[in-house]
Amino acid sequence: MNILISDSWLRDFIETKATPKQIGEYLSACSQSVEKITKAGDDFVYEIEVTTNRPDCLAVYGIARELSAILPRFGIKAKLKKPKFEKILKTENGLPLNVEISKKDLCPRFTALIYNNITVKPSPDFVQKRLNNSGIRSLNNVIDISNYLMLELGQPMHTFDYDKILKHKMVLRETKDNEEIITLDGQKRILKAGIIIIEDGEGRLVDLCGIMGAKNSETDENTKRVLLFVQTYNPMKIRRACQALGFRTEAASRFEKGLDTEGVIPAMERATLLFKEWCGANVGSKLFDIYPTPTKEKSVTITKEKITKLIGVPIDVKEAKNILESLGFVSKATADNITVIVPHWRSGDINIPEDLVEEIARIYGYQNLPNVLPPISTVDYKLDSVFGWEEKIKTALKFWGFTETMSYSLISKNLISNQEDHLKLSNPLTEDLVYLRTSLIPSLLDISSKNPSESEIKIFEMANIYLPRGKNELPDEIMTLTLALTGKDTYFNLKGILESLLKELGIFRFEIKQDQCPNLKNFAKIFIDKTEIGVIGEVTGEQSDKYGIKQKIVVLDIELRKLLGFASKAKKYIPLPKYPAVIEDLSFIFSSQIFIGPVIDQIKSVDKIVRKVELLDSYQDTRTLRITFQSEEKNLGDKEVSKIREKIIKEVEKKFNASLKFEKNI
Amino acid sequence: MVKDQINNLKNEAVGEVLEAKDEKSLEEIRARFLGRSGKINELTKEIPKLAASERGNIGKLINETKITIENALRESLNNLKERTSENEAWLDVTAPGIKSQEGHLHLVTETISEITSIFSRLGFHRARYPEVEWDYYAFEGLNFPENHPARDDWETFFIENLENDKLGKGILTPHTSSGQLREMESFKPPIRMINIAKCYRRQSDISHAPMFYQFEGLVVDKDIAVTHLKGTLDFFAKNFYGPKRKIRIRPFHFQFTEPSFEADISCGLCEGIGCKFCKQGWLELGGAGMVHPTVLRNGGIDPEIYSGFAFGWGVERNLMMKSGLKIDDIRLLYNNDLRFLKQF
């Protein structure tokens, strides 16, 4: 949360010659970040980002307290000045207020005080300016006091017109469903159950506690008696209420961080002084203070060893003790440890020795610590090579002309056929991102359809898919590689990519088996040994129409985990051929549709001098195969070659019902 | 024997043809091998001396050899002529080249590779942990109180019908910090992890995509201190952003680290003086801190013996800051407009 505070206001509480620039720089380095410093007339305004653990710094005085510890570390004198208070006298007389609190955990501390003889008028000039610098509109002296003190001390407060609280009775309780309140901003708000409110003696809701007061009990120009409210509330209740209502006020943002119950009385006493000085008021009641479980003092001990070990440089006990005391910790030190009593304004965030290390280190100054690389001790686990392979695959595909896409892991209902097979978000942000995908193919088709200006689609994505494994178990996250390609000879181009890719991974054997798939035609499964590692197929017309893709599109889908199980960096050396090769082309006519893969395998298995078999040409039923004969032992003569050739022809003709068309010597 | 002689002759001739650099030497080779008193003719003269049964085969072989050498000569001559004519012909050197295949890696992939390699030089090993994760690893075990705002369904995505008795609800992990406990469960100190993975948050605007990448560093060992965190971040900054850049850390607050920091890098434009692109000379990089003792304990590591630091930063933010790309909407990275992807 960011706050805006005036330089002049800060200097009410800290006596220092530090310039605003120095204050900004040093406060950022050691405490809360100053995001911006702007000039406002003869004043400056700091915009400070305050972390959620430090609600005490959401206040001018809190920032001054930090500076009083920080500035001297930079050689700049700084002295903290306490605000002025007006003690509230103990009395049992005065105006009545009947308070009931339904559950004590709703409101850890409840205080109220009534002021008489109010004169409502504009606030002093400097107050108006400071409020304005903080982004708050000055209204009148009464309302301004509550805002001014919220900014000064970090404690929000609320003022009621005492005479508008019917029967002078207040019941603090949680709402039932559908209660209504009109808040100060004139908005009618319908409340869900469980929100803290105050009801008066006539059953009217007079306060949306910690968030905003009600219109029916607000102070106005005729107000004579003010009921001042200073509380701390259950932070969770305030946050939930803000979420349910969809709005949040400055006060609520503070209450929901958990405020210091010991800060309530000082705030009340400071308010009493301001009511006297700015409104001419006097106290008209006793102090109502309901504080069932007072916050206990906490002590924390830290050893010298821990300080040095965690910060990385030796800091002596005396210096550490001085730092802690400069921040308001009361401490006792021995030769090797320090025990502190945590100041009440820090009771929310200081609990363990490491919390004290942070206090010591930040004031000592992170800028004073050296940069040291962590010592390399042995790292005794195996490096995960999967990432190297993934990078290699992506790089290869890039150089083969593919563009890498990255799409959301979540997809819409429109992209899936069976919702039961998918994990579903219970709180999706948009309709597009609801189901965790179980395949990358729909995403790639979606991308293809959304890029109509591309003449050719040539894309791939590598990402997890998520297969559910039941209610008690996380899904199987499977790293998948999917490619999509359009254009001429798409199928075989993509199959060629598969073959090259396998080679890159040191895999030289694989099998393709035709199969059936409802959404893909010419569908085939890819096997290495007996393991199915992926599929290839052409998207059916029906599917293409569904996505609005006009071109023929072929996809290749690989389960990376399985594929990489076969990947190898092992290299094999084959001695370079000593004897020339004999190359021949054989053309066969096959009598029916023929799978050429098994024919090639058959020819290769005829003899070891058959080194290579390539499909040179396909025309109607004719397939021309180029065969390379080569021996490691000698020059091949025509006699040896012709023997093997005859065998090839015989086997192909017999097993595949083919006839030789012609042969050609190259 | 004769057969070998013939083959040797063939190889010799073809070898010389391939070596020849001009027409003149080709003519010379032709004369020496195929001429009237060339080597082939010399061999032919030997045929009558052979046994009758061999004569046919040898004759055939000699003939084949002759054809092979002639072919080689012809081809070589053609190549020479072609080269000469090309040299002399006019060529428009300004005409566009014939492009080779041109593909594109995603910007995020390139950035991840670079980050990985920088940290691997410091002995960090790359890790990847579940994206669909239990509340325990993402929140509870990381010391988040039950009512912390990040655990609201306002900020984090929850999965329907996924809940474990011990580990809580199934969510999409909102940060790579969920890998801290996973790493501690899998490995004993010394630990040096760089976990790079997809994260998800219920937020979508020009500077937030609902899915994004983080990289999480975790070091756990004896005597790991704030100074080591500073050293590591500075090493990263100088390697990733350039040797002139500096890192600073400021106090901050996170549930799972104590002390906690926000790390800044000196602005590359003004070199730390302060300009309109930075805050007083610095740019925010991301969060870091010393691993909270509760987190170490939850990971089965004794905080009295070991300590550690961690940081978790956005890949996209670092890539944008480094490249200086003025991408006006971060979601462009995941919209997959090919006109965008093909720019890089």
Domain limits of chain A? 2-80, 98-290, 299-367, 385-564, 582-665
**Residue A43 · residue A127 · CB < 8 Å:** no
As a whole number, mean pLDDT of residues A64-91 equals: 95
Q: Do domains A2-80 and A299-367 have the same CATH topology?
A: yes
The residue of A372, A413, A461, A494 whose CB has the most chain B CBs within 10 angstroms, and thus the best one to mutate to test that interface, is: A372
Say yes or no for a CB contact (<8 Å) between B336 and A402.
no
The residue of B250, B276, B307 whose CB has the most chain A CBs within 10 angstroms, and thus the best one to mutate to test that interface, is: B250
Q: What pLDDT does residue B80 have? A: 81
Least Cα separation, residue B87 to chain A (angstroms): 31
pLDDT digit string, tens, across residues A414-442 = 999 888 899 999 999 999 999 999 999 99
B8 touches chain A (CB under 8 A): no
What is each CA distance from B222 to A237, A358, B119, B193, in whole angstroms?
42, 19, 20, 16
Residue carrying structure tokens 């091998």: B33
Q: Which of A195-199, B64-68, B331-335 comes out lowest in average pLDDT?
A: B64-68
Select A385-564's CATH number: 1.10.510.10, 3.30.160.150, 3.30.930.10, 3.40.1190.20: 3.30.930.10
The residue of B107, B134, B178, B226 whose CB has the most chain A CBs within 10 angstroms, and thus the best one to mutate to test that interface, is: B226
Terminal-to-terminal C-alpha distance of chain A: 81
pLDDT at position B4 over 80:
no
Least Cα separation, residue A53 to chain B (angstroms): 7
As a whole number, mean pLDDT of residues B158-164 equals: 97
Q: What is the length of chain B?
A: 344
The residue of A394, A404, A469 whose CB has the most chain B CBs within 10 angstroms, and thus the best one to mutate to test that interface, is: A404
Using a CB-CB distance cutoff of 8 angstroms, which residues of chain A are in contact with residue B172?
425
CATH architecture for the domain at A2-80: 2-Layer Sandwich (3.30)
Question: What is the rounded distance in angstroms from the CA atom of residue B306 to the CA atom of residue B291?
Answer: 10
B163 touches chain A (CB under 8 A): yes
Nearest to B158 among A371, A407, A425 (CB): A425
pLDDT at position B67 over 90:
no
Residue B56's CB is within 10 A of a number of other CB atoms, namely 11
pLDDT at position A377 over 80:
no
The residue of A403, A437, A454 whose CB has the most chain B CBs within 10 angstroms, and thus the best one to mutate to test that interface, is: A403
Percent of chain A at pLDDT above 90?
85
Using a CB-CB distance cutoff of 8 angstroms, which residues of chain B are in contact with residue A471?
161-163
Q: Is B284 helix (H, G, I), strand (E, B) or coil?
A: strand
Residue B174 per-residue DSSP state: S
Using a CB-CB distance cutoff of 8 angstroms, which residues of chain B are in contact with residue A311?
225-227
- Residue A339: exposure state from Cβ atoms within 10 A (0-12, 13-18, ≥19): middle
As a whole number, mean pLDDT of residues A432-459 equals: 95
Percent of chain B at pLDDT above 70?
98
pLDDT at position A111 over 60:
yes
Question: What is the rounded distance in angstroms from the CA atom of residue A421 to the CA atom of residue B306?
Answer: 44
Phi-psi category of residue A89: left, alpha or beta, with phi > 0 → left and psi -120 to 50 → alpha: beta
The candidate with the shortest Cα–Cα distance to B67, out of B22, B19, B14, is: B14
Instruction: Please give the CATH number for the structural domain made up of A582-665.
Output: 3.30.70.380
Question: What is the rounded distance in angstroms from the CA atom of residue A498 to the CA atom of residue B92?
Answer: 38
Question: What is the rounded distance in angstroms from the CA atom of residue A222 to the CA atom of residue A224?
Answer: 6
Residues 54-113 of B with CB under 8 A from A: 101-106, 108-109, 113
Least Cα separation, residue A433 to chain B (angstroms): 9
B162 touches chain A (CB under 8 A): yes
The candidate with the shortest Cα–Cα distance to A246, out of A154, A203, A183, is: A183
As a whole number, mean pLDDT of residues A69-96 equals: 94
pLDDT at position B207 over 60:
yes
Question: What is the rounded distance in angstroms from the CA atom of residue A131 to the CA atom of residue A151?
Answer: 9
Instruction: Please tell me which residue, B180 or B154, carries the higher pLDDT value.
Output: B180
As a whole number, mean pLDDT of residues A253-279 equals: 96
Question: What is the rounded distance in angstroms from the CA atom of residue A3 to the CA atom of residue A467?
Answer: 47
The candidate with the shortest Cα–Cα distance to A363, out of A413, A411, A329, is: A329
Q: What pLDDT does residue A261 have? A: 96
Question: Tokens standing for A517?
Answer: 């798939």
Question: What is the rounded distance in angstroms from the CA atom of residue A7 to the CA atom of residue A46?
Answer: 7
B204 touches chain A (CB under 8 A): yes
How sure is the predictor about A577, in pLDDT bands with cuts at 50, 70 and 90? confident
Instruction: Please tell me which residue, A443 or A453, carries the higher pLDDT value.
Output: A443
Residues 28-47 of B with CB under 8 A from A: none
Q: Is A392 helix (H, G, I), strand (E, B) or coil?
A: helix
Longest dimension (CA), chain B: 108
Question: What is the rounded distance in angstroms from the CA atom of residue A159 to the CA atom of residue A150?
Answer: 12
pLDDT digit string, tens, across residues A506-560 = 999 999 999 999 999 999 999 999 999 999 999 999 999 999 998 999 999 999 9
Residue-by-residue DSSP string for B98-112: PPPP--B--HHHHHH
How sure is the predictor about B87, in pLDDT bands with cuts at 50, 70 and 90? low
Residue A630's CB is within 10 A of a number of other CB atoms, namely 17
Question: Tokens standing for A6?
Answer: 């005036």
Supply angle C-alpha A427, A430, A436, rounded to 5.
65
Nearest to A433 among B210, B253, B307 (CB): B210
Say yes or no for a CB contact (<8 Å) between A426 and B159.
yes
Q: What pLDDT does residue A382 have? A: 60
pLDDT at position B83 over 80:
no
In SS3 terms, A497-535 reads as HHHHHHHHCCCCCCEEEECCECCEEEEEEEEECCEEEEE
pLDDT digit string, tens, across residues A303-356 = 999 999 999 999 999 999 999 999 999 999 999 999 999 999 999 999 999 999
How sure is the predictor about A637, in pLDDT bands with cuts at 50, 70 and 90? confident
Question: What is the rounded distance in angstroms from the CA atom of residue A201 to the CA atom of residue A97?
Answer: 10
Say yes or no for a CB contact (<8 Å) between B226 and A369.
yes
Percent of chain B at pLDDT above 90?
57
HSE on the CB side for A618, CA within 13 Å?
Answer: 8
B208 touches chain A (CB under 8 A): no
Residue carrying structure tokens 């009545």: A96
Question: What is the rounded distance in angstroms from the CA atom of residue B231 to the CA atom of residue A526?
Answer: 49
**Residue A316 · residue A351 · CB < 8 Å:** no
Using a CB-CB distance cutoff of 8 angstroms, which residues of chain A are in contact with residue B162?
423, 471, 474
Q: Which of A240-244, B174-178, B261-265, B319-323 comes out lowest in average pLDDT?
A: B319-323
Select A98-290's CATH number: 3.50.40.10, 3.30.460.20, 3.40.640.10, 1.10.600.10: 3.50.40.10
Say yes or no for a CB contact (<8 Å) between B160 and A31.
no
The candidate with the shortest Cα–Cα distance to A647, out of A614, A618, A604, is: A604
Say yes or no for a CB contact (<8 Å) between A424 and B159.
yes
The candidate with the shortest Cα–Cα distance to B193, out of B119, B108, B285, B254, is: B119
**Residue B171 · residue B156 · CB < 8 Å:** yes
Using a CB-CB distance cutoff of 8 angstroms, which residues of chain B are in contact with residue A394?
105, 109
pLDDT digit string, tens, across residues A114-144 = 999 999 999 999 999 999 999 999 999 999 9
Question: What is the rounded distance in angstroms from the CA atom of residue B234 to the CA atom of residue B226?
Answer: 12
How sure is the predictor about A666, in pLDDT bands with cuts at 50, 70 and 90? low
Residue-by-residue DSSP string for A181-240: EEBTTS-EEEEPTT-EEEEETTS-EEEETTTEEBGGG---TT---EEEEEEE--HHHHHH
pLDDT at position A197 over 80:
yes
B117 touches chain A (CB under 8 A): no
Q: Which residue of B has its CA nearest to A443?
A: B336
B273 touches chain A (CB under 8 A): no
What is each CA distance from A463 to A175, A187, B330, in whole angstroms?
48, 48, 19
Question: What is the rounded distance in angstroms from the CA atom of residue A578 to the CA atom of residue A632?
Answer: 7
The answer to whether the bond into B190 is cis (omega within 30° of 0) is yes
Record the pTM. 0.86
As a whole number, mean pLDDT of residues A558-572 equals: 93
CATH architecture for the domain at A299-367: 2-Layer Sandwich (3.30)
pLDDT at position A664 over 80:
no
